[in-house]
């Protein structure tokens, strides 16, 4: 059972990596994984070393930093493009 829970947590993290800009509902992700939100948070933190929210925010910040370093566009332009 523990391996199956780890697999669903990994699947959720992979979905986030594929669509980091999506408006993810973390409790809904937990339900889709067949776990309570509390159990999902605990499993996720065990697997990734931080909470699901912190992981998703970190992923988004990492991608934003990479994008800013790779373009000469202004932050204003990038913010409009990503709306």
The model's pLDDT over 17-74, given as tens digits with 9 standing for 90+, comes to 999 889 999 999 999 989 999 999 999 999 999 999 999 999 998 988 888 888 887 7
Task: Quote the pLDDT of residue 67.
Answer: 83
Helix 37-48 vs helix 2-18: crossing angle, to nearest 10:
80
Task: Quote the pLDDT of residue 47.
Answer: 92
- Counting Cβ atoms within 10 Å, is residue 10 exposed (0-12), middle (13-18) or buried (19+)? middle
Task: Quote the pLDDT of residue 35.
Answer: 93
Per the CB < 8 A criterion, the answer to whether 5 and 46 are in contact is no
Task: Quote the pLDDT of residue 40.
Answer: 95
Q: What mean pLDDT comes out for the span 11-20?
A: 93
31-52: b (≥16 Cβ within 10 Å) or e: eebebeeeebbebbeeeeeeeb
Per the CB < 8 A criterion, the answer to whether 67 and 41 are in contact is no
Task: Quote the pLDDT of residue 46.
Answer: 93
């Amino acid at each position: 059972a523990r391996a199956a829970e780890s697999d669903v947590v990994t699947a959720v993290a992979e979905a986030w990596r594929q669509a980091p800009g999506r408006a993810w509902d973390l409790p809904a992700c937990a339900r889709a994984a067949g776990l309570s939100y509390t159990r999902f948070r605990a499993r996720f933190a065990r697997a990734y070393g931080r909470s699901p929210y912190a992981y998703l925010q970190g992923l988004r910040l990492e991608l934003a930093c990479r994008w800013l370093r790779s373009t000469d566009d202004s932050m204003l332009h990038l913010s409009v493009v990503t709306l």
